[in-house]
Amino acid sequence: MSEADSRKAEQFAAIRRLLAGIKDRSPFYCGKFAGIDLADVRSWDDFASLPLSEKADLRDAYPLGLQAVPDEGVIRIHSSSGTTGTPVIIPYTAQDVEDWTTMFARCYALAGCTRLDRIQITPGYGLWTAGIGFQAGAERLGAMVVPTGPGNTDKQMQMLTDLKSTVICATSSYALLLAEEVERRGIRDRIHLKKAIIGSERWGEKMRRRIAAELGVQLYDIYGLTEVYGPGIGISCDHQCGMHYWDDYLYFEIIDQHTGQQVPAGEIGELVITTLKKEGAPLIRYRTHDLTRFMPGACACGAPYPRIDDILGRTDDMVKVKGVIIFPALFDEVLHQVDGVSSEYQIMIDHLDGRDTVTVFFETADGAHREGVEADVRRRCKERIGLTVVPKAVAVGELPRSEKKTNRLFDNRY
Ligand code: ZN
C-alpha cells in the first residue's frame, strides 16, 4: 500500500470511530443525521453522501448544542465573531487544546522558527481563538513569546525594536499597517524581523511584496477557522506553493458550491473539512465557504503533508454583475499588472439609474499619472474580467486598513 493509501485508510478508520455513537453524544448530530444509520457508512462514497453542515446550522445550536462530551470534559470555549448576530460557541476538551497546540507548533517548525526566535503575537486574545493559539504553539516550540495582542502601535514598535522580535504574527491588513508605520518612522534598520506569519485572508501579490519589503521578512500564510480549532491547521512553507495541512487531524474535500459534489482533482471549489480527532465539538463535512484547490504532487520542501492552494476567495464574495461572476481575487490579479497601482483597493457595486455599476477604488503611488492609470485599469478589467468598470484612483493611505479582516467587495444593490 502506498503512503497516500495508508494515510487514507487511517483517515477512514478515524472517521468510523468519529461516527460511532456520535448521535448519542451530540444533540447537533442527532438532529443532523436523523434517519441515517451511520453504521452504513463503509466507503468514501458513503461518507460523501452525508449531509454538509453550514455555519448557520452551528449558530442554530447556540449556545452549547455542539458539545459532544459530558460537561466535566470541557475546559474552554471559543466563539466565532457574531457579525450576523448569534455567535457560534465551540467547546474544547483538554485533548482538543493539546492537539491544536501540536498542530500550531508544527506550523512554526515548518516556517523554520526555532527556540531562539522571539515571536510577537498581534492577533487578539479572548473569545476569538487566534491569539491564544499562536501563543500555545510558540511556547510548545520553545520560542520566546511577546504577546502584544492587537492595537497600540507605539507599543508594537517598541517591542519590535527593543525586544528585537524576529517573527511577527498578524492579519495581512495589520501587517501592512505595521509595515507602513515602520517606514513612516524610519526605523527599518532597528527592526530584527525575519519572518511574518500572516492569517490567511485573501490578499494580493502587491500587498505581499510591500509587507515583505518594508518589514524585511519572508512571509508564511497560516490557515484556520474558529469552528475547526482556530488558526494553525495549515501553513505555507519556504517554497510558497500553497499551504500544507495536517491530514492526520483533518480530512479535506473540495466541492462544487452549487451541486455539493466533489470537483475533479486540482479544480477550484469550496473547502469542506471533517475533524478526525476533535472531541468537544467535532465537525463532519463542514462548509468553510473558502475557495481553493488541492495542489498536485509532493512539495519540494519534503514535508509529508498534502497541500491546498492559497485561499482564492470566499464563495460568498462571488457576485453576479451584468451576468458576469466576479470575486475580489480577479481584481487582485488585474490591479497587480498595472504600473503605479498600490496594493489596496475596494470594489463598490451599485444600482444607479436602472443599471448596475462597478466602481474600483485603488491607491496609486505618488507621482503616478492618475488618468493614465485609470484608463489602464478600465481596459484590463474589460479584457480580463469582461466587465466595464468605473476606475477611481486615490492616494496611498486613503482606503481603510483594519486590524481584522479587510472587506474589499461591497454589494450595495440590495
Ligand atoms: Zn512545502
Indicate where the chain has its CATH 3.30.300.30 domain(s): 318-411
Q: How far is the CA of 112 from the centre of ligand 1 (A)?
A: 11
Q: How far is the CA of 302 from the centre of ligand 1 (A)?
A: 6
Look at 13-27, 74-88, 146-160, 260-274 and tell me which has the smallest mean pLDDT: 74-88
pLDDT-derived band at 220 (thresholds 50, 70, 90) equals: very high
Over range 1-8, report the average pLDDT: 88
Q: How far is the CA of 218 from the centre of ligand 1 (A)?
A: 14
What cell numbers appear for 409 in the block? 467587495
Q: How far is the CA of 141 from the centre of ligand 1 (A)?
A: 19
What cell numbers appear for 219 in the block? 512571509
Q: pLDDT tens across 256-306, in order?
A: 888 899 999 988 889 999 999 999 999 999 999 998 999 999 999 999 999
Q: How far is the CA of 377 from the centre of ligand 1 (A)?
A: 35
Q: How far is the CA of 295 from the centre of ligand 1 (A)?
A: 11
Q: How far is the CA of 10 from the centre of ligand 1 (A)?
A: 22
CATH number for the domain whose boundaries are 94-314: 3.40.50.12780
**Per-residue model confidence (pLDDT) at position 252:** 98
pLDDT at residue 217 greater than cutoff 80:
yes
**Per-residue model confidence (pLDDT) at position 144:** 98
Q: How far is the CA of 376 from the centre of ligand 1 (A)?
A: 36
pLDDT at residue 84 greater than cutoff 90:
no
Mean pLDDT of the chain: 92
Q: How far is the CA of 94 from the centre of ligand 1 (A)?
A: 30
pLDDT at residue 336 greater than cutoff 90:
no
pLDDT-derived band at 231 (thresholds 50, 70, 90) equals: very high
Over range 219-239, report the average pLDDT: 96
Q: pLDDT tens across 153-168, in order?
A: 999 999 999 999 999 9
Look at 200-214, 218-232, 237-251, 370-384 and tell me which has the smallest mean pLDDT: 200-214
Quote the CA–CA distance of 175 and 235 in Å, as a whole number: 17
**Per-residue model confidence (pLDDT) at position 16:** 97
Quote the CA–CA distance of 361 and 219 in Å, as a whole number: 26
Q: How far is the CA of 142 from the centre of ligand 1 (A)?
A: 22
Q: pLDDT tens across 123-163, in order?
A: 999 998 789 999 999 999 999 999 999 999 999 999 999 99
Over range 328-349, report the average pLDDT: 87
Indicate where the chain has its CATH 3.40.50.12780 domain(s): 94-314
pLDDT at residue 202 greater than cutoff 80:
no
pLDDT at residue 201 greater than cutoff 70:
no
Look at 92-96, 205-209, 275-279 and tell me which has the smallest mean pLDDT: 205-209
pLDDT-derived band at 207 (thresholds 50, 70, 90) equals: confident
pLDDT-derived band at 413 (thresholds 50, 70, 90) equals: confident
Q: How far is the CA of 298 from the centre of ligand 1 (A)?
A: 8
**Per-residue model confidence (pLDDT) at position 109:** 98
pLDDT-derived band at 75 (thresholds 50, 70, 90) equals: very high
Q: How far is the CA of 172 from the centre of ligand 1 (A)?
A: 21
**Per-residue model confidence (pLDDT) at position 70:** 97
| Superfamily of the domain at 318-411 | ANL, C-terminal domain (3.30.300.30)
Chain centroid to CA 49: 26
Q: How far is the CA of 107 from the centre of ligand 1 (A)?
A: 11
Over range 357-372, report the average pLDDT: 90
pLDDT at residue 316 greater than cutoff 80:
no
The crossing angle, in degrees rounded to 10, of helices 172-185 and 153-162 is: 70
pLDDT-derived band at 52 (thresholds 50, 70, 90) equals: very high
Q: How far is the CA of 235 from the centre of ligand 1 (A)?
A: 9
